[in-house]
Structure 1
């Protein structure tokens, strides 16, 4: 190891918004971190389906998109750009796919879908992403805005994204599981 201090990478982990997180962009968000190092962090919100069907914006990829076959809002940054995230089991991924963590990787949406079609376990299309500058995410973690938990390959393609926040918390083996029962509107308690 060199003398440089290194940020312990959270790439491939989930950020689960704490109930107290005030930013409406991230209310009850479950973010898959695709990149995390000392230059900042980038991820996509897994539980924000939009009414836009994949076929309307990326027709050639529509057949490969998992249920629900809609575009997800990946975050508040660059909403006019699309990111493809796919789960591909095994050691070697096809051309047009770059492994990020475990079986999870990014799809080159410029590549012909036929290159990946046979290998794709599931594909999600995200408009935009969530980004943090150097040290910004660490500050938010220190403030208790996010819980960091392990991701499971099924999280990316959850057919019920609206229940992902609760189900990710519920499977934790510690006090975080209690937050799964947190009311949607605490003032109604």
Structure 2
């Protein structure tokens, strides 16, 4: 997985971390960790901290069982997703605005990037349903302290790239980690076929 004697992501030019960017886990550097083959969406990034949610770690808990009012808005699979290792009691929601809607009509929606919005859990789901293409519910968040995320990126743990609205609501029959790698510049699409378990190769 090394390229020119370095870890793959260290050898490639990539975007700067900022809200709305994806963090793509290195296939080898984070193998066996909590973040193996993870895709994270950066929600906040500053000199003091960074915050993200993991987009592709689904739990076995149905949204209907914990937040029944939000279940009709939840995109398939309608499960609660594991957003990160921190703030395990924190529940948050991401939504995708319908193409003909504008966020300014609802101040309780915070724009992350393009049509991706954070939705206040105090919102009435019935009042925002017609504005959204879908919603994903997360439990937990991921935090970094000052400079920690930059250090991990510099060491090759993450590849930084823009998010697409479709990334937030990826169906359960698709592998988001593979999808994101396939749309990157070469040679990253070649590594999309890297097995999730090395023993399977």
Q: TM-score, normalised by structure 2?
A: 0.85
The equivalent residue for 2:112 is 100
- Structure 1 residue runs without a partner (length 5+): 1-7
Deviation at 1:62, TM superposition (A): 0.7
> In the alignment, is residue 154 of structure 1 matched against residue 166 of structure 2?
yes
Deviation at 1:24, TM superposition (A): 1.6
The structure 1 residue matched to 2:73, chosen from 64, 77, 83, is: 64
After TM superposition, the structure 1 stretch with the greater mean CA deviation from structure 2, 170-179 or 115-124, is 170-179
Query: SS at 1:68's partner residue?
Result: coil
- Alpha-carbon distance in 2 for matches of 1:161, 1:130: 25
Contact 1:122–1:157, Cα closer than 8 Å, also in 2: yes
Structure 1 pair 31–59 and aligned structure 2 pair: CA distance change class (3 A): same
Q: TM-score, normalised by structure 1?
A: 0.90
After superposition, residues 15-164 of structure 1 pair within 5 angstroms as: 15-22=23-30, 24-88=33-97, 89=99, 90-93=101-104, 94-160=106-172, 163-164=175-176
Which whole-Å deviations, capped at 9, do the CAs of 1:118-165 have from their partners, x for residues lacking one?
Answer: 101110000001111110000000000011111110000011375111
- Alpha-carbon distance in 2 for matches of 1:120, 1:153: 11
- Structure 2 residue runs without a partner (length 5+): 1-15
Deviation at 1:187, TM superposition (A): 4.3
Contact 2:37–2:196, Cα closer than 8 Å, also in 1: no
How many residues of Structure 1 are paired with residues of Structure 2 in the alignment? 182
